[in-house]
Structure 1
């Protein structure tokens, strides 16, 4: 059975406790993608600030990790909250002065439909392994016309796969590292999937070797000809 909260696994907890790697996302076969634990545990860098300066309203950081972005916003007196499934990540965020909940983005969250901005940084467009479902969920969380700031993979990729966390240690006997669904989207794929889900791509930029997109949630306008409650609209040709 897949682990519901794979980022609570020991390799991730150990990395956050020490503030350094190695930590890898192991994909199919022997491929290992390095995870930048040192940057996550440091203060927000200049590339991060190109994202944070674009935030509007209250900010929800999805997959906040050890909380550098939430802490940076809190230091400015900006309303912000992180969500992460890893207790170690939530604890680090709170230690840095940020607000955070130990919860999945797909769980009920405070102020749904009212957040001004949402962040999917550090590869978090991959959360859940289904970018379309994640983008739809973020639209539910944002206020009408809200802003999603998302980071794309530096390579031109679009892939979904079962991943494992790996820090180079041999797994405990009888307890192999759990797998979980993950995804990676480069800039072209992220742009295409966002537009398919009804987002408007307002901006694309690069900083510090990283690629970001600013996505605007479409304002939902009720159809003027919506049928009264209890009645169905007649389809062309007389069907219902």
Structure 2
């Protein structure tokens, strides 16, 4: 049986995102109905891991699951280090790029059944992926079910201390829009509140190259 795609999954398979990944660059934005735009750094996602990414890689322990892996720079970097890692992404073009870069990836939603549930040493939610599904608590609960009880969840948070739920479209800046889907933006303070509700008990924050991260454990 072939499962039907949810609307958020359909949206991320829309042409603006696929085209940007294939090109390895933007412009690409999340656009709110009031015209607010959030630039998506596709060129950085498609490049080699940068200084901030290196601080995330250094904190990875055990097998690593990268949720919303995009073009797979983190998964491929871990593979080159001989570390077991798997990416998951709803976008076929993202999975294809990850595999071409030398990583392993599955074309699935994080809410689909995944391999080794409850046994991942490190789970990643970077590049704004705490926003997936527009419900951070639900996503953090799902991540807890995926992570080994002794493992950790590494989350990239928004620079401002925000806590918002929005409906957005993908926009390539030239009039091409995808279908609307729910998204969230979460700062470190709000993440702490949501994480506690989802069963995470400890949080350690750090910053690197103007990006902000939090390590969650139980």
Name the TM tier (shorter chain). Answer: over 0.9
Match of 1:150 in 2: 155
Q: Tell me, yes or no, if structure 1 residue 36 matches structure 2 residue 41.
A: yes
> TM-score scaled to structure 2, two decimals?
0.94
The question of whether the paired residues in 2 share the 8 Å contact of 1:201 and 1:213 is answered with no
Query: Residues of 1 paired with 2:64 and 2:8: CA distance?
Result: 28
Q: Tell me, yes or no, if structure 1 residue 78 matches structure 2 residue 69.
A: no
Deviates more, 1:189-198 or 1:142-151: 189-198
Query: Residues of 2 paired with 1:182 and 1:191: CA distance?
Result: 18
Match of 2:32 in 1: 27
The question of whether the paired residues in 2 share the 8 Å contact of 1:112 and 1:141 is answered with yes
Match of 1:18 in 2: 23
Task: Write 1 or 2 for the structure with the bigger share of helix.
Answer: 2
The question of whether the paired residues in 1 share the 8 Å contact of 2:28 and 2:40 is answered with yes
The question of whether the paired residues in 1 share the 8 Å contact of 2:16 and 2:178 is answered with no
Query: Residues of 1 paired with 2:90 and 2:35: CA distance?
Result: 26
Q: Tell me, yes or no, if structure 1 residue 51 matches structure 2 residue 52.
A: no
How big is the shift at 1:200? Answer: 2.4
Q: Tell me, yes or no, if structure 1 residue 107 matches structure 2 residue 107.
A: no
Q: Helix, strand or coil: the match of 1:38?
A: helix
Report 1 or 2 for greater relative contact order, CA contacts < 8 Å, sequence distance ≥ 6: 2
Q: Helix, strand or coil: the match of 2:184?
A: strand
Deviations 1:167-210 (A, max 9, x none): 01224xxxx63000100001111112112222123310000100
- Where does structure 2 lack aligned partners over 5 or more consecutive residues? 1-5
> TM-score scaled to structure 1, two decimals?
0.86
Match of 2:3 in 1: none
Match of 1:202 in 2: 203
Query: Residues of 2 paired with 1:3 and 1:55: CA distance?
Result: 29
The question of whether the paired residues in 1 share the 8 Å contact of 2:65 and 2:87 is answered with yes
Match of 2:125 in 1: 120
The question of whether the paired residues in 2 share the 8 Å contact of 1:56 and 1:117 is answered with yes
Query: Residues of 1 paired with 2:32 and 2:207: CA distance?
Result: 26
Spell out the pairing of 1:56-71 with structure 2 (5 A cutoff). 56-71=61-76
Q: Helix, strand or coil: the match of 1:107?
A: coil
* Structure 1 consecutive aligned stretches of length 4 or more whose deviation exceeds 2 Å: 1-5
How big is the shift at 1:9? Answer: 0.7
**Residue correspondences, number:** 213
The question of whether the paired residues in 2 share the 8 Å contact of 1:15 and 1:37 is answered with yes
How big is the shift at 1:127? Answer: 0.3
Query: Residues of 2 paired with 1:143 and 1:5: CA distance?
Result: 30
Query: Residues of 1 paired with 2:97 and 2:202: CA distance?
Result: 33
Of 90, 96, 101, the residue aligned with 2:95 is 90
Match of 1:213 in 2: 214
Give the greater-gyration-radius structure (CA).
1
